[in-house]
A and B are shown apart, each in its own frame.
Chain A
Amino acid sequence: MGKVIAIALNTFKEAVRNKVLYFLLIFAILIMAFSAVISDLSISSPEKLIKDLGLASIDFFGFLIAVFVGVYLVYNELDRKTIYTIVSKPIDRTQFILGKFFGLLFTIYVNIAIMTFVFFAVLYFRESTAYEVMIKHLYSETSPGHFVMVQSEWVYYLKTIFLSMGKSLGTMFGVYTTVLTAGLMKVVLMSALSLAIITSFAIFYSTFSSPTLSAVFTSLTFIIGSLCEDIVRYADKLAEKAGGISHLAGAEAFKYWFAIVAVHIVPNLSYFDRRMNAVYGAPDIAAPQLFPPLLDWQTIVYGIGYTAAIVCLASLIFRNRNFK
């Protein structure tokens, strides 16, 4: 366990030296800050726009980090020949893969934490700087119809920035929640779980292919995983058109079975997507098949199990790999 942690920490240190990581992080933060600006262009539901963009950014930039950082981790060790010094030590190759995986996952989660912090801070800041809220805090009615300014606008902005940051931290650790941010942290946690699967795939592909190919394969896995439910519907449509599965023949039968096998192999990333539910709030009716709870054990077990399986597969391949 200690060896895995040592490799993981080393991987984390290596990853944070990667400039790509910072570019991605800065870009994500800029988009979140920008979401507060573009929400003003909407004639209604401005918070929805911020939430949509913020949650999507956390998920998508997490994926980009997994791809751009993850695919180089094993390759760099091989390219710089540092793998020889590692495998010559009493470290099992599985421990090496596990260390790499947890190191990368930790890097991604730290980034997710930073993005989430900014996301909540933007939401709280915008809520506190809404016109009617600001007017209430800046002016006081001394006599009917007569108002005096009780504090400067800039002081209020400065106070709000710090307050929003505090509230943001509170929300992240579950000690402060309002209607505005209710359930959002759970969505982020579900995204984090789906990113664990993507990370395991990035590591898996990098054990046997070049960084470019690994990036392509990981991206394709992400795309197919996102379209899993659409592919099932496509397969069903094919069968329906033919009048049933038994009537499928030739190319149609191949397409059908290929689609069915594919959707059973690739991860269904839609399971982890609870954004719509959180943004619109859980409806007050019993329709669990349409609106799954924000966190459910079945999905958590599925996510962890799937990730573990792919890491096992990556270890299996890596164990048998010849470094010559």
Chain B
Amino acid sequence: MKRSFLTTSILTLLFAGLFGNSVYLQHQGLQAVRSQPPFWETWTMSGRSGDVMKLMALRYDMVAADFLWLRAIQSFGGRGMTNRDWHPMYNMFDAITELDPLFESAYTFGNLVIGDEGHQQREGLKLLLKGSDNIYMHYRCPFEGLYVSHWSLRDEELARWFGRVAIKRKDAPDWVSRMVAYIDVDAGQYYIGFDRFVGNLTKGIDTDEPALERIALFKLNETINKWNCDILSKATDQYTSQTGKLPQTIDDLTTMPALQNYEVARMSRLLASAMRYTNFLGKKELTPLMLQGYVAPDPKLLNEPVEQTSVTLKAKTMDDLQNVIFRESLVRGSGIPENPSGEPYILNVDKMSLPGVAATDIYITKNDLEEFAKDLLQQIRSAIAKRKAELGRNPKDLHEVFYTDFKTTEPLGGHWIYNPQDGTIKMSSRPML
């Protein structure tokens, strides 16, 4: 009994001592954790770790990828709270995507971490490229590749490549092809961009989707306008090189080489072509409301009988005739191009001398110029009203409003008329505005 009590006491004491010691050590450890920064990377991976991990995971690659994925999320947050260096995480995403090649979020999130946050856009793109190859049935990775290349890297060629990949994917929504066409046009690839938007229009007619038709027409109008402006811009450069001065009117450009025997798409021909083939196939016609704001369809082409070729005879949908419409819209000619709105082009001389102005703001229509003038007038009136409120009276002159001589000329060719008595301002060319 006595011996048993002694043994029990010794064991109890031993337990209390050892366990107490363990609790103390654990407490020390936890204190150390608290004093450290909230995140400490203990697991950095070297290049091609995924290959080794794939072997080690046996057939449980996807589970290994999931755990690594959770670790990557933690690592992203941890690095964000400490050194903000996300670059070493590339190998982690590479390993995840080696283990689970169809893990789409790993590619897109990896691109966000490495590219957007880590400022290594090219490496981020490498992940998206890998994703585009591996997940060959979805558009998401190539689409994000397009987005990053176009908007972050301004690498139009790469963006167009990713775009071409994205639109081939079966799940790519319609707007992806529109975005790709937009980038094509933006990169000066007018033929390709125009062709893609013609595809959108034919698809819209086939599926009887007025919204899609309207968007396609609007984008086609924009594309042709950009195309025309690009040609006019080249002609302006040639004029400036030859004469040493800026052109004063659009007619000054007509003799320039860039405006001789050039090929361009015409809205009037496009509309005529689309309309005659909708009739030919018995499809729903483009409504007058849809055509509002665009040049009238070319009557000659509209009334021409449809050529009986193997393509037109076999065609069942407008989509089958996309290439025909595309070719019929193109025309070779000389002189000032036809504006898709139907109004003639004029020069916005004020903007020509300013740096960084888009060509579409220089070669405009009379209507555009009036709109521009109205906007400018509105802005000047707001500035006068604001200054009036500050002074408690009407400004004596425009110098008192803008603190400098008001040099901007009135866009429509006249001059500004300011009345200090009532604080009103007008344009001499349009006094009623």
Residues of A within 8 A of B (CB): 38, 41-45, 48-49, 52-53, 56, 59-60, 222-223, 226-227, 230, 269-270, 273, 275-276, 279-280, 283-285
Contact = CB atoms under 8 A, between A and B. Distances in A.
A42 B73 contact: yes
Contact of A42 (B63, B70, B102): B70
A230 B55 contact: yes
A227 B58 contact: yes
A276 B62 contact: yes
Contacts of A43: 73, 105, 109
Interface string B148-188: 00000000000000000000001000000000000000000
A44 B96 CA distance: 14
Interface in B231-284: none
B361 to A, nearest CB: 42
A223 B56 CA distance: 9
Given A230-B55, A283-B137, A285-B137, A52 B63 contact: yes
Interface string B100-119: 10111100010000000000
B70 A276 contact: no
B73 A284 contact: no
Given A41-B73, A45-B105, A280-B102, A269 B59 contact: yes
B60 A56 contact: yes
A44 B60 CA distance: 20
B288 to A, nearest CB: 40
A222 B58 CA distance: 9
B66 interface: yes
A53 B59 contact: no
B50 to A, nearest CB: 13
A273 B69 CA distance: 21
Contacts of A276: 62, 100, 102
A236 to B, nearest CB: 15
Nearest to B105: A44
Which 8 A-B pairs give the minimum distances between C-beta atoms? A226-B58, A44-B105, A283-B137, A52-B62, A56-B63, A226-B59, A56-B60, A280-B102
A285 B170 contact: yes
Contacts of A41: 70, 73
Nearest to B77: A43
Contacts of A285: 136-137, 170
Question: Interface of chain A, helix or strand or loop or mixed?
Answer: helix
Contacts of A269: 59
Nearest to A284: B170
Contacts of B58: 222-223, 226-227
Given A52-B63, A56-B60, A56-B63, 15 more contacts: A38-B70, A41-B70, A42-B73, A45-B104, A48-B66, A49-B69, A49-B70, A60-B60, A226-B59, A276-B100, A276-B102, A279-B62, A284-B170, A285-B137, A285-B170
A41 B75 CA distance: 13
Contact of A44 (B55, B109, B136): B109
B30 to A, nearest CB: 22
Contacts of A230: 54-55
A126 B102 CA distance: 23
B58, B69, B100, B109: most-surrounded residue (chain A CB, <10 A): B58
Contacts of A56: 60, 62-63
A43 to B, nearest CB: 6
Contacts of A59: 59-60
A269 B70 CA distance: 28
Given A44-B105, A44-B109, A285-B137, A273 B63 contact: no
B65 to A, nearest CB: 8
B60 to A, nearest CB: 5
Question: Interface of chain B, helix or strand or loop or mixed?
Answer: helix
Contacts of B170: 284-285
A42 B60 contact: no
A52 B63 CA distance: 6
Interface string B71-96: 00100000000000000000000000
B65, B105, B137: most-surrounded residue (chain A CB, <10 A): B137
A89 B121 CA distance: 76
Contacts of B62: 52, 56, 275-276, 279
B210 to A, nearest CB: 29
Contact of B63 (A44, A53, A223, A270): A53
Contacts of A222: 58
A227 B56 CA distance: 9
Contacts of A49: 66, 69-70
Contacts of A48: 66, 103
26 contacts: A41-B73, A42-B66, A42-B69, A42-B70, A42-B73, A43-B105, A43-B109, A45-B103, A48-B66, A48-B103, A52-B62, A53-B66, A56-B60, A56-B62, A59-B59, A59-B60, A60-B60, A222-B58, A227-B58, A230-B55, A270-B59, A275-B62, A276-B62, A276-B102, A283-B137, A284-B137
B95 to A, nearest CB: 16
A223 B105 CA distance: 30
A29 B219 CA distance: 57
A280 B59 CA distance: 16
Contacts of B54: 230
A190 to B, nearest CB: 12
A156 to B, nearest CB: 28
A273 B58 CA distance: 11
A48 B65 CA distance: 11
Contacts of A42: 66, 69-70, 73
A27 to B, nearest CB: 15
A269 B62 CA distance: 16
Contacts of B63: 52-53, 56
Nearest to B76: A43
A56 B102 CA distance: 17
Given A56-B63, A276-B102, A285-B137, A227 B69 contact: no
A280 B73 CA distance: 21
Contacts of A45: 103-105
Contacts of B105: 43-45
A163 B109 CA distance: 35
Contacts of B70: 38, 41-42, 49
Contacts of A223: 58
B62, B100, B105: most-surrounded residue (chain A CB, <10 A): B62
B59, B65, B69, B105: most-surrounded residue (chain A CB, <10 A): B59
